[in-house]
Amino acid sequence: MKKGLSQILSVLMAIVVLVSTMSMTVSTHYCGNILVDKTIMKPAQKCAMHDATSQHENEDKHNSCCDDEVKIIKGQDQLKLQSTDFELPQPIFVQALVYTFFVKPVLQTDTNPNSYEYPPPLYQGDFQALYQVYLI
């Protein structure tokens, strides 16, 4: 159980590092004020209006109603490896605590299989009625 959990956590940590260092581009295409296409990692599709205006090469690009936006999301360039010095104030106490709760003690008493318990004596009768001794 612990091994599987540690493997799952290590895979999740690797995915977090991969995603945080990855860069991507988000490109959008607007035709007027209407969003036509929004994509990640590739150019956005152009609308039919943009194709019609691109045929007229003499027109100024300022007069076209289409607009392309490209946002670049940069990831981390460098990973910082940090090491911390951690010392426990009383390592003997911690060792004793770990040994007490997590390690099975080796010094356990074993029962001797050669010792036999004798059965109790058989019940022979009511002694008070047999000897006629009653409590008053």
Where are the alpha helices (H) located in 22-90, listed in sequence order? 48-55
Per-residue pLDDT reduced to its tens digit, 46-79 = 877 766 655 555 454 555 678 888 998 887 777 6
Report yes or no on whether pTM surpasses 0.85.
no
Q: Which of 35, 32, 37 is nearest to 53 (CA)?
A: 32
Helix/strand/coil for 67: strand
105 versus 3: which is more confidently predicted?
3
pLDDT of residue 105: 62
CA distance 60 to 96: 81
pLDDT surpasses 60 at 97: yes
Please list, in sequence order, all residues whose beta carbon lies within 8 angstroms of the beta carbon of residue 60, skipping any fewer than 6 positions away: none
Please list, in sequence order, all residues whose beta carbon lies within 8 angstroms of the beta carbon of residue 8, skipping any fewer than 6 positions away: none
CA distance 89 to 67: 64
49 versus 16: which is more confidently predicted?
16
pLDDT surpasses 80 at 102: no
pLDDT of residue 108: 60
